[in-house]
Copies of this chain bind each other. A is one copy, B any other.
Amino acid sequence: VVGTGVIGRSWAIVFARAGCRARLYDRDVQQAEKAAELLLPWKTQISVHTDLASALEGVGYVQENSPESLEIKRQVFRDLDAAADPAAILASSTSAFDMSRIADGLPGARRCIIAHPVNPPHVIPAVEVLSGTATDPDVVERTCAFLASVGQTPVRMHKYIHGFLLNRMQFALVREAISLFEQGVADLDDIDAVIRDGLGLRWALMGPFAVANTNADGGIRQYLTGHEQWLMELMDGLGGTPRVDAGLIARLGDAIDQAPGGARRQELRVWRDRMIARINELKRKEPSPR
């Protein structure tokens, strides 16, 4: 695990809890030690390094989590490619860049790949897996197999697109939520309620296509047929891109401060992550009849 910020630490939990030996690398000793503390329950399986060469010794899979800057990522991948065992996979947590650009010109570009998690990965299984132009198909297979073996859900993308799948779908919904808030259609907490006590309950179990397919006896074909006009009008009339500026951020901030629990962020996050773990447990015990 290269870079032990919030994401890196969470990845380390994923690997250690699955029984892997995990080596944590950070140039910042304090950061790395903070990570090690969090990983105390698995202390016999982890080691902390501030020297990259020693960190990479005998490692078969590297998960990189440096800041989201193309220059930094390119430098880190140059260093990783130079120091890691030639058979090792070099995976990046980036949510922003194309691996073709990060690994451009590297001798080991064929073993470089994106494995973008959802925050935090030790609680949320989905990982977006995306090749660069030079990535070996075998590296994709091995990455997906490894991620599945540590309990994650690898999601394969066929091509690069800004924001990948996850952030595109997330911000499609958020854009509309902001539009409804800005138009005063409902209070912020009521817009949230429609998701948490409505749509989100289905989506914790099946994606939007499977929902459409189960919402009518005749499946997605019956669900959509006859509503083509209604659907197109609805989608055409959705709100556009809001101006995300200090004014909007202040209005959202004020509204959330007034909403129940708005100020108890830390407590809410702990509750959320604990509850997600419970939902995942439910899904493991009683898996979908897919």
Residues of A at under 8 Å CB distance from B?
Answer: 96, 118-119, 123-126, 128, 153, 155-159, 161-163, 165-177, 180-181, 183-210, 212-215, 217, 219-221, 224-225, 227-228, 230-238, 241-245, 248-250, 252-253, 255-256, 259-262, 264-269, 271-272, 274-276, 278-280, 282-283, 286, 288-290
State whether A202 and B169 are in contact (beta carbons under 8 Å apart), knowing that A126-B197, A159-B185, A192-B209 are contacts in the complex: no
Once A156-B186, A197-B125 are accepted as A-B contacts, the answer to whether A288 and B261 lie under 8 Å apart by CB is: yes
Q: Which among B181, B213, B278 is the interface contact of A256 at CB below 8 angstroms? A: B213
Q: Which of B181, B190, B203, B265 contacts A199 (CB 8 A)?
A: B203
B187, B209, B235: the one within 8 Å of A156 (CB): B187
| B195 and A208 form a contact (CB under 8 A) | yes
Given A171-B234, A219-B253, A219-B265, A279 and B155 touching (CB < 8 A)? no
- Could you tell me the distance between the alpha carbons of A220 and B212 in the complex, rounded to whole angstroms? 31
Other A-B pairs beyond A220-B252, A224-B249, A261-B290, 16, CB < 8 Å: A126-B198, A153-B197, A155-B193, A156-B190, A159-B185, A162-B233, A171-B234, A171-B235, A172-B235, A174-B208, A196-B204, A201-B279, A209-B256, A214-B265, A221-B249, A279-B282
> Given contacts A193-B153, A209-B191, A209-B192, is CB(A272)–CB(B214) below 8 Å?
yes
Q: Which 6 A-B pairs have the closest CB atoms?
A: A192-B207, A200-B203, A261-B290, A126-B198, A204-B204, A172-B176
Chain B residue numbers with a CB within 8 Å of A262 are 213, 219
The 21 listed contacts between A and B (C-beta, < 8 Å) are A118-B198, A126-B194, A126-B198, A126-B199, A155-B190, A155-B194, A161-B180, A161-B185, A165-B190, A169-B176, A172-B173, A177-B207, A189-B207, A195-B208, A202-B276, A213-B268, A221-B253, A232-B241, A271-B289, A278-B282, A279-B282
Q: Which residues of B contact A161 (CB under 8 A)?
A: 180, 183, 185
Contact partner, A209, options B177, B183, B210, Cβ 8 Å: B177
Q: Is the CB of B224 within 8 A of A232?
A: no
Find chain B residues with CB under 8 A from A271 CB: 205, 286, 288-289
A20 to chain B, nearest CB (A): 20
B268 with A204: CB separation less than 8 A: no
Knowing A156-B186, A205-B272, say if A256 contacts B219 (CB, 8 Å): yes
A253 cross-chain contacts in B, Cβ below 8 A: 219-221
